[in-house]
Amino acid sequence: MSVRQKFQRIVYWMEVYVVPMVHIIKVDGEMEATFAEVERLLRLASDRTVFNDLGAVERNLRFIRLVRRHALRVFEQCRKEIQPLYRALARSNNIAAGAAAALERLRRDGLQNWGNEPLVATYALRQQYTVTDAAIISVLERVILQPPEVPPIVDFNEPDEEPAGMRHSRWLDSLPELAAARLPIDDLLGWLIEEKPHHSTSEVLSGFATLFFHEQFRSHFTGADTHTYETPQHVLSAHPVRLERAEK
């Protein structure tokens, strides 16, 4: 099987399996809205005693929550298995396409002109002459009338402020250890905002993604109602996510 055929097969798997699962696990997706509407109608039916078989209503509610958790686990497993293959085959496909284009240009242009198209031609103009008296006088005037400034004094003992990117990267690296000491965490996003209330929305969400897809943990939506979370820049609305230790 050629590289192109392998790449087309991986793309087919992504489109048939992974992409539809995204619509199931997205918080603002159509599937989530449908599940929420069905849960609302079932609760109304249970509260207003439209159905006599209340056990069936509870079973349907549990089944909806089970579908969400199962879809999330299958999506995560497919992502871990297919995404590395997808990237490797995409890279191989690009290399093969580039090699084919290079060989086609060699056949078309010949060896003499092959590889010269991307090059940028450079030119140099060299001129030599004797320095005139006016030029020497001008240089001496600049040296005498404009003496060099005193070099600045650099204080090497002054502590340097740590860059924000390095501080954020170190915080992301320490998150798995911090989360492992607090397991289980019933509300992952709320815990992150409580730990670092001054962090921006992008920093909090990057920490959430780091723990959500970390191989050491297992995360899933609890099925509870939507909560509101506040950061210094935004107000977020999402279902709580429970973080547990992954089974070995």
For the chain, the domains span 3-113, 164-245
- Cα gap 80→5, rounded to integer Å: 21
Looking at residue 125, its pLDDT comes to 65
Q: Which letter does DSSP use for residue 76 in this model? A: H
Residue 31 has pLDDT above 80, yes or no: no
- Please answer whether residues 198 and 225 qualify as being in contact, where contact means their C-beta atoms are separated by less than 8 angstroms: no
- Cα gap 242→218, rounded to integer Å: 8
Identify the top-confidence range among 60-74, 88-102, 125-139, 167-181.
167-181
Q: Is the peptide bond before 184 cis (omega within 30 degrees of 0)?
A: yes
Q: Residue 18: which of 63, 61, 72 has the closest Cα?
A: 72
- Please answer whether residues 39 and 64 qualify as being in contact, where contact means their C-beta atoms are separated by less than 8 angstroms: yes
Tokens of 101: 């284009």
Looking at residue 39, its pLDDT comes to 84
Residue 50 has pLDDT above 70, yes or no: no
| Element (DSSP H or E) covering residue 48 | none
Residue 133 has pLDDT above 70, yes or no: yes
Looking at residue 147, its pLDDT comes to 75
Residue 24 has pLDDT above 70, yes or no: no
- Please compute the mean of the pLDDT values over residues 2-20 and round it to a whole number: 72
Residues 218-243: tens digit of each pLDDT:
888 888 888 898 888 888 888 898 98
- Please compute the mean of the pLDDT values over residues 141-149 and round it to a whole number: 82
- Please compute the mean of the pLDDT values over residues 42-53 and round it to a whole number: 72
pLDDT tier at 118 (50, 70, 90 boundaries)?
low
Looking at residue 161, its pLDDT comes to 72
